[in-house]
């Protein structure tokens, strides 16, 4: 809890020792611990009731979001059955509908985002905690926090209007040289193709992933930086005293100490990347087939599916969207619980044994 | 071993120190000339090699590819240059140092560039005064920038975010107080759920409100958007408040209990005022987050082109939604308007962020000069009051009887 405060109704056990100088005429003191309880005043009871009520209200509200999604989604899930997981098209009113395509798109975008964000986040966190001069350190922490506060629509604008067209040549280059890997294949473009290429490479998983990477990087950076800066100074100086270079010290002390927080920060970033909506919607052009080619135009994600389809949906269509939302909810919840578990289990934040 | 060689003295007596210039302390973090030369040389070599590759050997194109390749070659050349006069661990140290420095610089460059680009594109819309005073009721996408503005979106954002924070801040802070003050299994469970919910994708909050409020009332309205934003920000405020309240020094609360005050008085008059700056930061950062959220608003508020002050009837526009919708139009003026809305949004967030930094720079209980003056004046008033009471009682003769 770590509240540090004195909570009046917690029993305080006292172990009264028998006084050796006391006369024999007194009865021996009881050996059982004496329980002390403070009596709360009426106003304190009212306060506790109010606080408890607030807590319960928030709890109910938060649980309600999950259960409501499940409750409304069940209708569609029951109708679709197991094919909900295997169908690629999204056509709730006509034919089949399923999340096979959108969930693959969601995971691919998140994976691209994490692949780009992790080196940036580790580098930025190490720079701020280990390399930056003291006087600009605080400013840099603010810059990273500011990055986290910039609205996603601004990142989306930047990605859709600026980055997208600058990335075409990089995508083409990757495609030319690594196109033999299925992930980097683009249908319709061969190495000798000389026609206009922009339409093949824009609106792709890769570009959406890079923009999402910029949005999840600050979260991962601030968690990692926190852990790195708490690495015990005794062990740091020990490493230097044994003749380590700065990188030797970092790789022997700081990174092992912050490993749990690194994994946790990456997982939290992954959770955020899975749910990112508006920047993705602004960049991708939705297709409802499984698109494993990350450089190719056209992909989809659960959140963009919801954002694009809610308005035209019939009640059954909304139920189907709820079911898709439930899948996204379950995915982020699992990732986040794993992250919380890893962060709390790691040595990060613990004091040195020396 | 009785003979002693007299030719070599048994002890060495150091001579007197020569009076000379004072010894200079050795600078251990100085930048040395070979380092600078290595960096400069590697950079020059990398630029030239990439230029050669780009223009002569293999025809590539694109600025990003050029920069990426130059950087890779730079790291390679630098490693080779350093390895001429350093050993393995030192070379690794230098290479990692260069990589980390450039990643740190890249992060700052990208952030600066995102902000500068948005302002550069939206600048033309923001120059005209009508941008802040008119709405888009009579403005079509082909109209020039001298007509129409975003006042309806600014008003909508302020109303929606104000209502949302009006709901989520009291409830969030109450939850934070609950998690801190009433420890037990329930508080632990609430904390777990709140932490899990900070990661709730914002579109799901929007979908939840869409399915409850919007569908059951058969219309889009501003209050629904406020509810969706409140669901998004509630866990953020509660969690940040929880963290801040935990930092209040235990000695202060214990002193309050020792003076005989109850729990709610301690919370109200000791804990919350002590954590005030931290709580303000939490609330402001939550507000900045709520202002920038697009997807909950997209699903719940609808879209309109005119000013709407009533959150309970009729659709309501907000800045992120306006930016998102305007840039989907193919007309340049409309796109510039969208960027202008994004700039206005960014300005709001920047202002909130700097306010939060100014307030949040102080630890719990640290006072500004103004607050210190306020406290000092309060205690002067107290002293004057005691003296007045004292004289009044002496005059009435109470104290004479007691003594």
- Kindly state the average pLDDT of the residues A180-201: 72
How much is the average pLDDT of B223-239?
A: 89
Contact A153, A279 (CB under 8 A): yes
Continuous H helices in A7-82: 42-80
A60: alpha, beta or left? (left if phi > 0; alpha if psi -120 to 50): alpha
Range A83-345: architecture per CATH: Orthogonal Bundle (1.10)
- Map tokens 């061969």 to a residue: A190
CA distance A89 to A75: 18
Q: Cβ distance B91 to B79 under 8 Å?
A: yes
- Determine whether the interchain pair A328/B199 forms a contact, defined as Cβ–Cβ distance below 8 Å: no
In Å, how far is B11's CA from the nearest CA of chain A? 33
- Strand-pairing partners, residue A12, are A36
Average pLDDT over residues B294-300: 86
Rounded distance, CA B107 to CA A207, Å?
Answer: 17
pLDDT for res B402: 47
Contact criterion met (CB < 8 Å) for A245 and B257: no
Contact at CB, A55 and B190, closer than 8 angstroms: yes
SS3 B122: helix
Q: B370: distance to nearest CA of chain A, Å?
A: 25
Closest partner CB to A154 (pick from B64, B114, B262): B114
Return the closest-CA partner of residue B150 out of B130, B135, B128, B160. B135
Q: What is the pLDDT of residue B314?
A: 80
Note the pLDDT of residue A5: 45
Which residue of chain B is at minimal alpha-carbon distance from A147?
B111
Q: In A, which residues are within 8 Å of B357 by CB distance?
A: 142
Looking at per-residue pLDDT, the higher value among A75 and B139 belongs to: A75
Task: Determine contact: A62 vs chain B, CB below 8 A.
Answer: yes
Backbone angles phi, psi at A4, to 5 degrees: 75, -10
The Cα-based distances of A161 to A148, A198, A281, B338, B346 in angstroms read 21, 13, 13, 12, 17
Residue B284: alpha-carbon gap to chain centroid: 9
**Tell me: the pLDDT tens digits for B200-211?**
888 888 888 888
pLDDT in tens, A114-163: 999 999 999 999 999 888 888 888 888 888 888 888 888 999 999 888 88
Query: Using a CB-CB distance cutoff of 8 angstroms, which residues of chain B are in contact with residue A4?
Result: 246, 248-250, 253
Cα angle vertex A14, ends A10, A18, to 5°?
A: 170
Q: Which of A310-319, B258-267, B388-397 has the lowest mean pLDDT?
A: A310-319
- Substitution target in A10, A143, A191, A278 with the highest count of B β-carbons within 10 Å is A278
Nearest-Cα distance to chain B for A291, in Å, is 23
Count the helix, strand and coil residues of chain B and give each as a percent rounded to the nearest 5: 70, 0, 30
For residue A53, give how far its alpha carbon lies from the nearest alpha carbon of chain B (Å): 9
- Nearest chain B residue to A119 by CA distance is B103
Chain A residue numbers with beta carbons less than 8 Å from the beta carbon of B117 are: 158, 162
Q: β-strands A12-14, A34-36: how paired?
A: antiparallel
Q: What is the pLDDT of residues A261-285, one digit of tens each?
A: 888 888 888 888 888 888 888 888 8
Percent of chain B at pLDDT > 70 equals: 89
At A241 the pLDDT is 92
Mean of pLDDT values over A247-254: 90
Q: Chain B within 8 Å of A338 (Cβ-Cβ)?
A: no
CA distance to partner chain A, nearest, from residue B22 (Å) = 28
pLDDT score of B1 more than 60: no
β-sheet bridge partners, residue A97: A90
Q: Which of B178, B253, B271 comes nearest A55 by C-beta?
A: B178
B62/A169 CB distance under 8 A: yes
DSSP A184: G
* A132 touches B at CB < 8 Å: yes
CA A310, A313, A314, A317 dihedral sign is negative
**pTM, to two decimals:** 0.80
Report CB contact under 8 Å: B342, A153.
yes
- In chain A, the residue whose alpha carbon lies closest to the alpha carbon of B252 is A5
Q: What is the pLDDT of residue A350?
A: 47
Residues of A in contact with B172 (CB under 8 A): 58
Nearest CA distance, A21 vs chain B (angstrom): 31
Instruction: Read off the DSSP letter of residue B330.
Output: S
- Tell me what pLDDT residue A4 has: 44
pLDDT at residue number A266: 87
Q: A56 vs B115: CB contact, 8 Å cut-off?
A: no
The span from the CA of A102 to the CA of A308, in Å, is: 13
Q: Report chain A residues whose CB lies below 8 A from the CB of B115.
A: 150
| The pLDDT of residue A16 is above 70 | no
Whether residue B184 is predicted with pLDDT greater than 60 in this model: the reply is yes
Per-residue model confidence (pLDDT) at position A348: 47
A46 contact residues in B (CB cutoff 8 A): 264
Q: Which residue in B253, B233, B242 sits closest to B177, CA to CA?
A: B242
Residue A202, CA distances (Å) to A116, A158, A306, B59 in order: 18, 14, 22, 22
Question: Looking at the partner chain, which of A54, A132, A217 has a beta carbon nearest the beta carbon of B175?
Answer: A54
CA atoms of B256 and B365, how far apart (whole Å): 15
Cα separation, B3 vs B11, whole angstroms: 17
- Are residues B204 and A62, on separate chains, in Cβ contact within 8 Å? no
pLDDT band at residue A242 under the 50/70/90 scheme? very high
Which residues in chain A touch residue B100, judged by CB atoms under 8 angstroms apart? 123, 126-127, 130-131
- pLDDT of the residue at A349: 45
Using pLDDT thresholds of 50, 70 and 90, give the confidence band for residue A186: confident
A209 touches chain B (CB under 8 A): no
> pLDDT digit string (tens) for B321-340?
888 888 888 888 888 888 88
Q: Cα(A19)–Cα(A29) distance, rounded to whole angstroms?
A: 9
At A1 the pLDDT is 39
Tell which residue, B312, B265, B280, B124, has the closest CA to residue A42: B265
| Position A106 pLDDT exceeds 70 | yes
Mean pLDDT of B300-316: 81
Q: How confident is the model at residue A93 (pLDDT cuts 50, 70, 90)?
A: confident
Per-residue pLDDT, A114: 92
Highest mean pLDDT, choosing among A105-119, A291-305, B64-78, B347-361: A105-119
* Chain A interface disruption, residue of B91, B184, B295, most A CBs within 10 A: B295
Is the pLDDT at B17 greater than 70? The verdict is no
Predicted confidence band of residue A13 (pLDDT cuts 50, 70, 90): low
Confidence of residue A353 (pLDDT cuts 50, 70, 90): very low
Nearest CA in chain B to A267: B199
Smallest Cβ–Cβ distance between B207 and the set A154, A250, A321 belongs to A321
ipTM of the complex, rounded to two decimals: 0.78
Distance CA A301, CA A83 (A): 18
**What is the distance in angstroms between the Cα of B299 and the nearest Cα belonging to chain A?**
7
Interface test with A, best of B107, B118, B252 (most A CBs within 10 A): B107
Contact A153 B196 (CB under 8 A): no
Token pair 């990055």 is found at A147
Q: How far is B139 from chain A (nearest CA, A)?
A: 23
The token pair at A115 is 């692949």
Residue of chain B whose Cα is closest to the Cα of A132: B101
Cβ–Cβ under 8 Å, residues A327 and A99: yes
The CA distances from residue B4 to B11, B13, B396, in Å, are: 13, 19, 104
Whether A70 contacts chain B with CB within 8 A: no
Has residue B77 got a pLDDT over 50? yes
Report the alpha-carbon distance of residue A10 to residue A32 in Å, rounded.
17
Q: In the structure, what pLDDT confidence band is assigned to residue B93 with cuts at 50, 70 and 90?
A: confident
Question: Is residue A351 very low, low, confident or very high in pLDDT (cuts 50, 70, 90)?
Answer: very low
DSSP string, B182-196: S-SHHHHHHHHHHHH
pLDDT for B362:
63
Q: Check B262 against A40: CB less than 8 A apart.
A: yes
pLDDT higher than 60, residue A80? yes
- Using CA atoms, how far residue A117 sits from A125, A204, A286, A296, B251, in Å, is 12, 17, 24, 21, 42
pLDDT in tens, A203-232: 888 889 999 999 888 888 888 888 888 888
The domains of chain B, with CATH numbers, are 33-126 (no CATH), 151-374 (1.10.3720.10)
**Among partner residues A162, A169, A329, which is closest to B61 by beta-carbon distance?**
A169
Give the pLDDT mean for B165-172. Answer: 91
Chain B contacts in chain A segment 229-258 (CB below 8 A): 244-248, 250
- For B98-138, the pLDDT digits (tens) are 899 888 888 888 888 888 998 888 888 888 878 787 777 77
* Residue pair A138/B361 in contact by the 8 Å Cβ criterion: no
Query: Does residue A46 belong to the interface with chain B, where contact is any CB pair within 8 Å?
Result: yes
Band of residue A2 on the pLDDT scale cut at 50, 70, 90: very low
Indicate the DSSP class of residue B379: H
Question: What is residue B384's predicted lDDT score, i.e. its pLDDT?
Answer: 92
Encode pLDDT of B355-377 as tens digits: 877 776 666 566 778 888 888 89
Place of tokens 């989809």: A300
The two three-digit tokens of residue B308, written as one number = 């709407």
Q: Check CB contact under 8 Å for A48 and B263.
A: yes
| List of residues 6+ apart from A206 with CB closer than 8 A | A112, A167, A171, A294, A295
């Amino acid at each position: 809890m770590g509240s540090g405060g004195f909570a009046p109704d917690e029993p305080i056990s006292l172990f009264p020792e028998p006084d050796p100088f006391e006369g024999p005429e007194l009865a021996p003191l009881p050996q059982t611990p004496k329980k002390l309880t403070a009596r709360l005043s009426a106003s304190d009871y009212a306060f506790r009731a109010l606080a408890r009520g607030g807590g319960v209200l928030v709890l109910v509200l938060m649980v309600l979001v999950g259960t409501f999604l499940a409750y409304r989604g069940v209708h569609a899930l029951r109708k679709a059955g197991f094919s909900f997981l295997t169908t690629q098209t999204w056509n709730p009113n006509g034919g089949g509908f399923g999340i096979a395509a959108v969930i693959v798109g969601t995971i691919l975008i998140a994976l691209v985002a994490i692949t780009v964000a992790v080196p940036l986040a580790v580098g930025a966190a190490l720079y701020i905690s280990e390399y930056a001069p003291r006087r600009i350190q605080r400013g840099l922490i603010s810059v990273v926090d500011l990055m986290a506060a910039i609205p996603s629509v601004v990142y989306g604008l930047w990605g859709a209007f600026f980055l997208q067209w600058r990335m075409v040549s990089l995508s083409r280059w990757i495609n030319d040289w690594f196109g033999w890997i299925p992930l980097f294949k683009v249908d319709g473009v061969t190495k000798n193709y000389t026609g206009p290429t922009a339409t093949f490479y824009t609106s792709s998983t890769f570009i959406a992933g890079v923009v999402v990477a910029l949005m999840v990087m600050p979260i991962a950076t601030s968690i990692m930086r926190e852990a790195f800066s708490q690495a015990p100074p005794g062990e740091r100086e020990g490493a230097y005293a044994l003749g380590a270079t700065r990188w030797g010290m970092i790789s022997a002390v700081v990174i092992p100490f912050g490993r749990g927080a690194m994994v946790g920060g990456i997982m939290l970033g992954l959770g955020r990347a899975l749910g990112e909506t508006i920047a993705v919607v602004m960049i991708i052009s939705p297709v409802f087939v499984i698109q494993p080619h990350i450089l190719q135009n056209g992909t989809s994600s659960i959140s963009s599916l919801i954002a694009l389809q809610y308005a035209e949906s019939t009640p059954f269509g909304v139920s189907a969207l709820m079911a898709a939302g439930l899948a996204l909810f379950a995915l982020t919840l699992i990732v986040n619980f794993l992250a919380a578990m890893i962060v709390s289990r790691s040595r990060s934040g613990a004091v040195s044994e020396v | 071993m009785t003979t002693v060689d007299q030719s070599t003295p048994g002890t060495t007596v150091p001579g007197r120190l020569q009076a000379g210039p004072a010894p200079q302390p050795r600078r251990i973090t100085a930048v040395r000339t070979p380092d600078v030369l290595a960096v400069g040389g590697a950079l020059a070599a990398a630029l030239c090699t990439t230029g050669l590759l780009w223009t002569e050997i293999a025809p590539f194109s694109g600025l990003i590819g050029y920069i990426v390749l130059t950087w890779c070659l730079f790291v390679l050349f630098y490693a080779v240059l350093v390895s001429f006069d350093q050993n393995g661990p030192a070379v690794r140290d230098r290479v990692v140092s260069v990589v980390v420095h450039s990643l740190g610089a890249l992060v700052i460059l990208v952030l600066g560039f995102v902000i500068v680009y948005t302002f550069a594109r939206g600048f033309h819309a923001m120059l005209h005064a009508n941008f802040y005073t008119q709405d888009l009721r009579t403005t079509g996408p082909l109209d020039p920038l001298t007509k129409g503005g975003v006042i309806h979106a600014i008003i909508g954002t302020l109303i929606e975010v104000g209502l949302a924070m009006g709901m989520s801040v009291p409830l969030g802070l109450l939850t934070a107080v609950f998690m801190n003050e009433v420890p037990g299994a329930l508080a632990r469970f609430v904390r777990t759920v709140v932490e899990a919910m900070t990661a709730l994708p914002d579109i799901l909050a929007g979908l939840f409100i869409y399915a409850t409020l919007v569908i059951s009332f058969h219309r889009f309205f501003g209050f629904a958007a406020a509810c969706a934003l409140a669901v998004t920000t509630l866990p953020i405020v509660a969690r940040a408040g929880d963290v801040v309240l935990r930092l209040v020094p235990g000695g202060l609360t214990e002193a309050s209990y020792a003076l005989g005050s109850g729990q709610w008085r301690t919370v109200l008059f000791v804990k919350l005022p002590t954590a005030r700056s931290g709580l303000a930061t939490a609330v402001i950062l939550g507000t900045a987050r709520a202002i920038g959220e697009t997807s909950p608003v997209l699903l719940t508020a609808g879209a309109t082109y005119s000013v709407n002050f009533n959150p309970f009837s009729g659709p309501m526009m907000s800045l992120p939604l306006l930016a998102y919708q305007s840039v989907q139009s193919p007309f340049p003026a409309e796109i510039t308007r969208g960027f202008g809305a994004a700039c206005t949004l960014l300005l709001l967030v920047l202002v909130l962020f700097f306010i939060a930094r100014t307030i949040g720079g102080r630890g719990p209980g640290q006072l500004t000069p103004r607050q210190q003056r306020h406290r000092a004046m309060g205690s002067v008033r107290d002293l004057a009051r005691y003296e007045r009471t004292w004289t009044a009682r002496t005059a009435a003769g109470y104290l004479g009887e007691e003594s």
